[in-house]
Amino acid sequence: METKETVLVTGGSGFIASYCIIALLNQGFNVKATLRSLKKADLVTQMLKEGGVRSVDGLSFAEADLRNESSWEKAVEGCQYVIHVASPTPQTEAKTEDDFVIPAKNGVLFVMRAAKKAGVKRVVLTSAFGAIGMGTVKTTPYTEEDWTVLNNTVFPYQKSKTISEKAAWDFIKNEGDGIELAVVNPTGVLGPVLSDDFSHSIQNIKLMLNGGMKACPKLISGYVDVRDVADLHVKAMTLPQASGQRFIAVAGEGLSLLDIAKVLRKNLGEKAADVPRRELPNWLINLLAIFNPKLKAVKPYLGMIKQASSQKAITRLGWKPRSTEEAIVATAISLIKFGIIK
């Protein structure tokens, strides 16, 4: 009987990571998940069961931290693959640009070095659309050929994703020696939440449902369901043609926040009673941003239309994402179910 291969998934309690673990366990892999503290292990196991994992027999945990290089060598021992998801997210306590960029970049290099030393076959890095489509304006959809141009319009989180992804490719080029890399660049991630730790994009749906967003800023971007993001990570890990490639994860055309609001009203009836019905003009947001730090963060994106293409993942890897509408509705239903929306 062949022994099952083991995959290290970093940042195991995170939204994307937990769905990667579910997909891997359900496909028969052993998974070692890293956590900053093993105290979270029971919570993660609970989340995985909530997400439909059939058995957690092949699951183990290791303690590792993006700020501590030696913790990664021990974590990656005995693993054939690594899915590196852990990175400071927009919700972290990070205050300065360096708080995002340094742990993200160092974390990637710590993991790559440890993976090479342990004889790992392939690393799949979770990057972001933030490493592809920021700092530039394009009328055609962004593709994997595009890179964010680091100028003063690029937020620290997007900067950290760009710099850390480039560091991974540089590592492969200069000292890779036999280790392969594939990268997944998701757009806004939606989908069923498993706990109160979820992606940045879901905050907007939460705000709409609980009446915290009275009108929508004019923002258009691409979205994708977290279950499809996990599926793309597994394909990027296992398929030979994924080696050395980046893959954008997006489901169809970009949507505005008002489009999302309409989907919620259409599918949720009275549960969507507080969802906004109109868009705010840009001039008003610019004015209100003087007094409101949350709106100030939105300002650089106003009127921005970021379309992206996932043609490469679809044609090369046979990836089939579900519709954005399905992802939005699943997100909303899960927020209600968990009591996150009263």
- Enzyme catalytic residues: 161
122 residue type, one letter: R
Cα–Cα distance, 315 to 109 (Å, whole number): 30
Cα–Cα distance, 8 to 330 (Å, whole number): 28
Render 23-88 in DSSP notation, one character per residue: HHHHTT-EEEEEES-GGGHHHHHHHHHHTT-S--TTEEEEE--TT-THHHHHHHTT-SEEEE----
* C-alpha to C-alpha distances, 330 to 192, 194, 214, nearest whole angstrom: 5, 12, 22
Cβ neighbours of 65 (radius 10 Å) = 18
Place of tokens 């990057």: 127
Residue 212 and residue 239 in contact, taking contact as beta carbons nearer than 8 Å: no
Helix axes 97-117, 156-175, angle to 10 degrees: 30
Q: 30-35 and 59-63: which strand pairing?
A: parallel
**How would you label 80-104 residue by residue, b for 16+ Cβ within 10 Å and e otherwise?**
bbbbbbbbbbbeeebeeeeebbbbb
